[in-house]
């Protein structure tokens, strides 16, 4: 077995005009495929550790040193992107009453949550991700990670994530990351976020 690039759960142009088809082709077919290929190349060197990337990245010290950074980068890249595709949809969705209440309790309101998430995505310097996670205390938390680091490595369960690498937005939004972040809120698949919250809390 090897890690396989998952198909998108919608057409490449399904998220237009918020996320353009050219970006989706490049992002999924080229960037994500490269993470898959490089993760497989690293895993092939150590068949004894298996291929459960979530387990491996939950305890990075357990990863053999010679492939550790390759798996953090490329295994993380695969997990993050596989999740990211599922976190978007052309359908109109909204948080469940339970998740909405948790967001209000944690951040004060949905608008304040959106502001916190937007700030995390805007201020992540260079390449990385903004996240809504369930932390070790079972509480919601907005955070960000560099490069392809996954919150799983910090003991946190990601339930919403936004790729803020330039490859995720530069074709359409050029240097204007804030417009891309705003657009993302129009395509979030809250049904998937609900499911992850229910499983992670
Ligand atoms: Fe990406």
Instruction: Tell me the pLDDT of the chain (201 aa) as tens digits.
Output: 799 999 999 999 999 999 999 999 999 999 999 999 999 999 999 999 999 999 999 999 999 999 999 999 999 999 999 999 999 999 999 999 999 999 999 999 999 999 999 999 999 999 999 999 999 999 999 999 999 999 999 999 999 999 999 999 999 999 999 999 999 999 999 999 999 999 999
Instruction: Give distance in angstroms: CA of 97 to centre of ligand 1.
Output: 30
What's the 106 CA to ligand 1 centre distance in angstroms?
28
Q: If you search the block for the tokens 């359409």, which residue do you land on? A: 172
Give, as one character, the DSSP assignment of residue 53: H
Give 108 Cα–ligand 1 centroid separation in angstroms: 30
CA 27 – ligand 1 centroid, Å: 6
Q: How far is the CA of 24 from the centre of ligand 1 (A)?
A: 10
Q: What's the CA-to-centroid distance between 30 and ligand 1, angstroms? A: 10
User: At a CB cut-off of 8 Å and minimum separation 6, what does 200 contact?
Assistant: 134, 157, 159
């Amino acid at each position: 077995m090897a890690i396989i690039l998952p198909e998108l759960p919608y057409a490449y142009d399904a998220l237009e005009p918020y996320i353009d088809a050219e970006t989706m082709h490049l992002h999924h077919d080229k960037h994500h495929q490269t993470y898959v290929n490089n993760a497989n190349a690293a895993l092939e060197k150590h068949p004894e550790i298996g291929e459960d990337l979530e387990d491996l990245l939950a305890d990075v010290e357990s990863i053999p040193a010679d492939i550790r950074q390759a798996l953090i980068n490329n295994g993380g890249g695969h997990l993050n992107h596989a999740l990211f595709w599922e976190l978007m949809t052309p359908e109109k969705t909204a948080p469940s009453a339970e998740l909405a209440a948790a967001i209000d309790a944690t951040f004060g309101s949905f608008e304040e949550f959106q502001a916190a998430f937007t700030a995390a995505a805007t201020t992540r310097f260079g390449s990385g991700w903004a996240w809504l996670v369930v932390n070790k205390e079972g509480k919601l938390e907005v955070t960000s990670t560099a490069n392809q680091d996954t919150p799983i490595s910090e003991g946190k369960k990601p339930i919403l994530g936004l790729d803020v690498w330039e490859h995720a937005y530069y074709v359409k939004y050029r240097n204007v990351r804030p417009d891309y972040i705003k657009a993302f809120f129009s395509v979030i698949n809250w049904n998937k976020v609900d499911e992850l919250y229910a499983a992670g809390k």
